[in-house]
Amino acid sequence: MPDYLGIEFTPEEREQISKSIEDQLKHLQTIRSHHLDNGIPPALIFDPRLPTPVDMPAIAPINVSDIGQVQRPSNLEDAAFYPVTHLAQLVKSRQVTSVELTEMYLERLREYNLHLECVVTFTDDLAMTQAQQADEEIAAGHYRGPLHGIPWGAKDLLAVPGYPTTWGATPFKSQVIDRKATVVQRLEEAGAVLIAKLTLGALAYGDIWFDGVTKNPWDLSEGSSGSSAGSAASVAAGLVGFAIGTETYGSIVSPSTRCGVTGLRPTFGRVSRHGAMALCWSMDKIGPIARSVEDCAVVFNAIHGADGLDNHAISHPFRWNPDLDIHSLRIGYYKSAFEAERDNQANDDAVLEVLDDLGIDLIPIEMPEIDIQSLIIILVAEAAAAFDELTRHNLDDQMKWQDDDAWPNTFRRARYIPAVEYINANRIRTELMQAFAVLMEEVDVFVTPSFGKDVLLATNLTGHPAVVLPNGFTEKGTKTSISCVGGLFEDEKVLAVAKAYQDASDFHQQHPPLDF
C-alpha cells in the first residue's frame, strides 16, 4: 500500500505504527506548548570544515594508585578478575607475558561464551600477533604504559580491518569495513591486545542481536541489558581485561548496572567516533567498561582527544590524580531522586552514608524544571536518518527484534516527526544545557540513582560525563549501581569521586560464581 511519504508500509506495519504513534503525538504537543524565545538557537552547530586527518599526539603518561607489589598467582586464571592496574604490574615486571594473558582470556571467552553469548567474532590471529609484539617490546625495555599487553574487547560497532563489523544486526552480519576506528587505533598504539569483537543489541539497542541474547553473568535467566551488552558481560565474567562500550541513552550505564561493572560515559566529544557506527550524531559517546574506576581512567587516558576525522571530537587535557582530595570538591546529591520510592533504594541511600562517613558535606541539588521526555524525538529522528535505507529497502524485516518499541517500528514511526518539531526540540535542548550550566555552578560533581527521574536522558542530552559503578545487590542476587555526574570536560573529577566511594566499598571486587 503506497504512503504519501513515498515509502510503502504493509498493513501490518501501519497497524504497528498507529499503536505507538499516540505517544509520539504527546511528545510533539509538549514541544509545541513550550514557549521558545526567538533568540534560542537549536543545540546543533554547523561546521563548514570537512574532516581532515591530524597527527594524533602520543599517549600521555598516567599516574595510578600505589597498590604495592602484585605477585603472579600459582594458577594464572586466578588473575582473570584482576583490574588493569594489577594486570599491568604483572606484565611490566615480566612475571606474566602478554601471550600468556591473551591465551588465558581467549580460552575463558570460548568457554563462557557458550552460556553468555557475548562474542560476535574472535580475533585470535590479530591478538596473538599483538601479544607477541608486546612481549618483544617489553623485553627490549620499550614499555608503552599500563595497557601494554593487556587483552581487551571491542563493542562490534567499531571497525577493525579484516574482520566483520556487524552492528549486531542481521542485515549487516557479513559487513567488513576497510578502516580502523580511531579508538581501536589508539588502543593499538597503547599496546593493548584486541581479542574479540563483542555483542551489542542490534543497531545499539538492547541485548538482542542477530545470533542470540547476551546474558547477565550473575543470572542467565535475564539479558545483560544493552546496548553494550557483550562489553559489560565479558568484563563482569573475567573474560577480558577491559572493554569499550558506547552510549547514546544508557548503553554504558544500563549494562554496567545489570552486570555489576564500572563504566565511564565521557563528556560528549572527548572521544572520536571515527570508524564507529552512527546512531545519533548529536548524542553518541564512546567510553570504557572495566572492573574499577581507575581502570576506566587508564583506558580513557589512551583514547581521548581529537583526530580531525570526527568534527565533534575535541582535545582537552585529562589530568588524572588518583590521590586527589575529594574534600576540595563541591559534591552534591540529587535530592528528590533519592527521596523517590523505587527498587533498591536502600543500596542508594547507603552510598550517601559512605560519603558522609568520608566527611563529605553533601549539597542537595535538583534537575532543571523542563519536561524533557519529549526530547527523545531527537534521538529517534537522527537514528531513523542514520538507517534510512534500512527502512526504505525493507531490510528492517530481517531484524530479529520486531516489537512495537524495537528499531524497525521506531524508524517507521519517525517518518511522522515534523522537521519543525525536531528543530524546536533542539532549541529546548539548548535551554536544558543553559539550565545545567547554572546547576553545575553549585557543584563539581553530584551523586544520583543511576535511573533517577530524568537524569539519564537529561545528561545524555547535555553531554555531561558520568561514572556508573556497583553499589550492592538486588534480592535475587544481581548487581545494582550508583552514578556520579560531573561538569563538562571535568571527567577526572567525577572519576575521583567515584573512586573514593569505590575505595570505601568492595562491591566491585565481588564477581559472579559462573557455576553454569
Omega prior to 227 cis, within 30 of 0: yes
How confident is the model over 14-29, as a mean pLDDT?
91
**Secondary structure string (H, E, C) spanning 44-83:** CCCCCCCCCCCCCCCCCCCCCCCCCCCCCCCCHHHHCCCC
What mean pLDDT is reported for the chain?
A: 96
pLDDT of 3 reads 59
Determine, yes or no, domain membership for 132. Answer: yes
**Do the domain assignments include residue 145?**
yes
In the chain, the amino acid numbered 123 is: T
pLDDT tens sequence across 59-89: 899 999 999 999 999 999 999 999 999 999 9
pLDDT digits (tens, 9 = 90+) for 367-413: 999 999 999 999 999 999 999 999 999 999 999 999 999 999 999 99
Helix (H) / strand (E) element for 482: namely strand 479-486
Amino acid at the residue 154: A
In sequence order, the β-bridge partners of residue 483 are 448, 468
- The predicted-structure confidence for 348-373, as pLDDT tens digits, reads as follows 999 999 999 999 999 999 999 999 99
Of the CA atoms within 13 Å of residue 173, those in its CB half-sphere come to 14
Instruction: For residue range 431-484, list pLDDT tens digits in order.
Output: 999 999 999 999 999 999 999 999 999 999 999 999 999 999 999 999 999 999
Asked whether the predicted pLDDT for residue 97 surpasses 50, the reply is yes
For 55, 119, 202, 252, 409, the CA distances from 183, given in Å and listed in that order, are 14, 19, 21, 16, 31
Q: In whole angstroms, what is the distance from residue 344 CA to residue 433 CA?
A: 30
Q: Is residue 260 part of a domain?
A: yes
CATH code of the domain covering residue 456: 3.90.1300.10
The per-residue pLDDT for 4 is: 57
Query: Residue 402 CB: number of other CB atoms within 10 A?
Result: 15
Instruction: Give tens-digit pLDDT for 172-185.
Output: 999 999 999 999 99
Would residue 99 count as lying in a domain? Answer: yes
| Per-residue confidence (pLDDT) for residue 1, from 0 to 100 | 41
Question: What is the number of domains present in the chain?
Answer: 1
Q: How do residues 213-244 score in pLDDT, each as one tens digit?
A: 999 999 999 999 999 999 999 999 999 999 99
pLDDT, residue 163, reads: 98
Bridge pairing between strands 215-216 and 219-223: antiparallel
Domain that holds residue 309: 82-317+326-367+437-509
Residues 163-210 have pLDDT tens digits of 999 999 999 999 999 999 999 999 999 999 999 999 999 999 999 999
Strand partners, 434: none
Does residue 42 fall inside a structural domain?
Answer: no
Structural domain includes residue 470 = yes
Strand partners, 208: 213
The pLDDT, as a whole number, for residue 361 is 97
> Is residue 376 included in any domain, yes or no?
no
Tell me what the mean pLDDT of segment 3-10 comes to. Answer: 78
Is 442 domain-assigned?
A: yes
Q: Output the pLDDT for position 33.
A: 96
Percent residues over pLDDT 90 in the chain = 94
Nearest C-alpha neighbor of 260 from the set 234, 236, 225: 236
Asked if residue 2 has pLDDT above 60, the reply is no
Catalogue the active-site residues: 155, 227, 251
Distances (CA, A) of 224 to 201, 233, 298: 10, 6, 25
Distances (CA, A) of 516 to 2, 161, 217, 395: 51, 35, 9, 36
Write down the pTM of the prediction. Answer: 0.97
Provide mean pLDDT across the span 330-341. Answer: 97
